[in-house]
A and B are shown apart, each in its own frame.
Chain A
Amino acid sequence: MAHFKKKQAGTKQEVPTSAMPDVVFMLLFFFMVTTVLREVTLKVKIDLTKATNIEKIEEKRLVSYIYMGPERLPNNRLGNDKVQIDDSIVDDIGAIRQLMYDKLLQEQRMIVSLRVDESSEFGLLTDVQEELKKAQTFRINYSTKSEATRN
């Protein structure tokens, strides 16, 4: 009881922490808004190549991704080059046309970002590009990492 009395009698020594939740919540909301949770699980291995003359895509909403690279197999082995759209591997290249066309209908200004493994062969890429042409999705972007400028 004596202890209790003493606490009330003394002057307040604590730092007021009542505003801390507000601060933390503010940060929380910031990260919640910026987080993109629609990250797909990659079923293909992708190491992006580097390029110097690149540009940023500002409007992330418009971007839809196509992944290309060697398929990840169990036991850390890698298979043949495959195409992945959304969460699944597309074995039939001809099916890409319909998939991408459906996406284009939802967003007319769609940009297709091609995330291709650096060792993938150009042949597969050109097949996919042919399908994209037929699907009328002409705006593409070869996703690359940035490289320090040489000059």
Chain B
Amino acid sequence: MLLKKRERESAEINGSSMADIAFLLLIFFLVTTTINVDTGIGMVLPPPLDPTEEPPPVRERNLMKILVNETGLIMMDEEPTPIDEVQNKLIEFIKNPEGNEELSISPQAAIVSLKTVRQTPYRIYIDMLDEVIGAYAFLRNEAANENFSRDYSQLNKEQKDIVDDIYPKKISIAEPDPE
């Protein structure tokens, strides 16, 4: 009688601890998972410059030279500028709505050159770059609203290309002077 009962009990595998095992694994992966999407400022580096070759000529008025020193002071075309005015000045330079002789001929021709020194902390450099990217983001958004009455982020690929052609992002990161 006793023997028969034991046989019957062992016929089924006890699966109740399966959940415990699965939970343990689940908690392990929950703890180790980091769902962090990498965010940042995307850039495309230019190809290395051939030292024997002269850089292509750029007209002075199409070039906005931004100099930043290691304490975060900014010069825009030889003019000291506080950081919160940088974006507005850039937008004016790129668009040049009044056809000012000293600003860019057209948005397509505008080049923003960013130059700093070797001692500049990365934070200041990124803040500066952020302002430049911000100016372009503003202009592209504006163009998107004018042409497609939608925000830039909601445009499809072809529409984005059209807007990008209106305001091409030409940012040059100048090498710091060797000391």
Which residues in A have some Cβ–Cβ distance to B below 8 Å?
17-18, 20-21, 24-25, 27-28, 31-32, 34-37, 39, 49, 51-57, 60, 63, 68, 111, 113, 116-123, 125-126, 129-130, 132-134, 136-146
Q: Is the CB of B121 within 8 A of A140?
A: no
Given A25-B22, A49-B123, A140-B43, also A34-B117 (CB < 8 A): no
Contact A49 B26 (CB under 8 A): no
Across-interface contacts of A143 in B (CB, < 8 A):
38-40
Interface residues of B, Cβ cutoff 8 Å to A: 15-16, 18-19, 22-23, 25-26, 29-30, 32-35, 37-48, 116-123, 125-127, 129-130, 133-134, 137, 173, 175-176
Q: Is the contact region of chain A dominated by helix, strand, or loop, or is it mixed?
A: mixed
Contacts of B32 in A (CB 8 A): 35, 37
Residues of chain B within 8 A (CB-CB) of A52 are 130, 134
Inter-chain contact B38/A120, CB cutoff 8 Å = no
> How many angstroms between the C-alpha atoms of A133 and B18 in the bound complex?
54
**B39–A119 CB distance below 8 A:** no
Contact B119 A63 (CB under 8 A): no
